[in-house]
Amino acid sequence: MEKTMSDPALWVERYADRLYAFALKKVFEDELAKDLVQETFLAALQARNAFREESAELTWLTGILKHKIADTFRKKKRRPEELGGDDFFDESGHWKTKPLEIGIDDGNPLENKELDKVLKKCMEKLPALWLAVFSLKYLEDSTSELICTSLGITAANFWVIVHRSKLNLRACLQKHWL
């Protein structure tokens, strides 16, 4: 059976926008998302003979892109970003200031759009590994085991990162939203 893969010259026209949108939702950086899509096309071009037509061409390309994104998070994990001390707890482990309660008015769609915008900006401030863990856990609804395996972290580290990500996002939302 002869493969019916389309001409690779058409991939950019057919799939670039969808792959870019997918990558941007994961990495929150315009240039990085573009680079990942380019790397995906190059990898697909090199491995096009391995395409077994068990899925649609876009699905195959998206799978390659997911691996490129995971590789990016793994590389960034090796170069952790420091937050500069403990911004939330004192030496005894108690809150420096008690967090405010965050409420969302479901009846006001404009307010929800504004909140979404602020939340995305707050997520962009997270260290790369934290962003990856948080996104996979709460946006992709991945299991903790899958996240730990794909990012090469322990379960204990996973839960610490989840906890700290929530604290950072909460503090950022309190500062910029409330």
For residues 116 and 166, state if they share a domain: yes
For residues 118 and 158, state if they share a domain: yes
In the numeric block, the tokens 């380019």 are attached to 38
For residues 20 and 61, state if they share a domain: yes
pLDDT in tens, the chain (178 residues): 344 677 888 888 999 999 998 888 888 888 999 999 999 999 998 888 778 777 888 888 998 998 888 888 877 765 555 444 566 667 766 667 766 555 555 555 555 778 788 888 898 889 988 998 998 888 888 888 988 988 889 989 999 999 999 999 888 888 887 6
In a domain, 84, yes or no: no
pLDDT score recorded for residue 102: 53
CA-nearest of 77, 64, 61, 53 to 131 is 77
For residues 73 and 114, state if they share a domain: no
> What total of structural domains would you count in the chain?
2
In the numeric block, the tokens 């990016």 are attached to 72
What CA–CA distance (Å, rounded) separates 24 from 36? Answer: 9
Do residues 37 and 22 lie in contact, with contact meaning Cβ atoms separated by under 8 Å?
no
What CATH number is given to the structural domain containing 146?
Answer: 1.10.10.10
Do residues 97 and 178 lie in contact, with contact meaning Cβ atoms separated by under 8 Å?
no
Instruction: Enter the pTM of the model.
Output: 0.50
What CATH number is given to the structural domain containing 58?
Answer: 1.10.1740
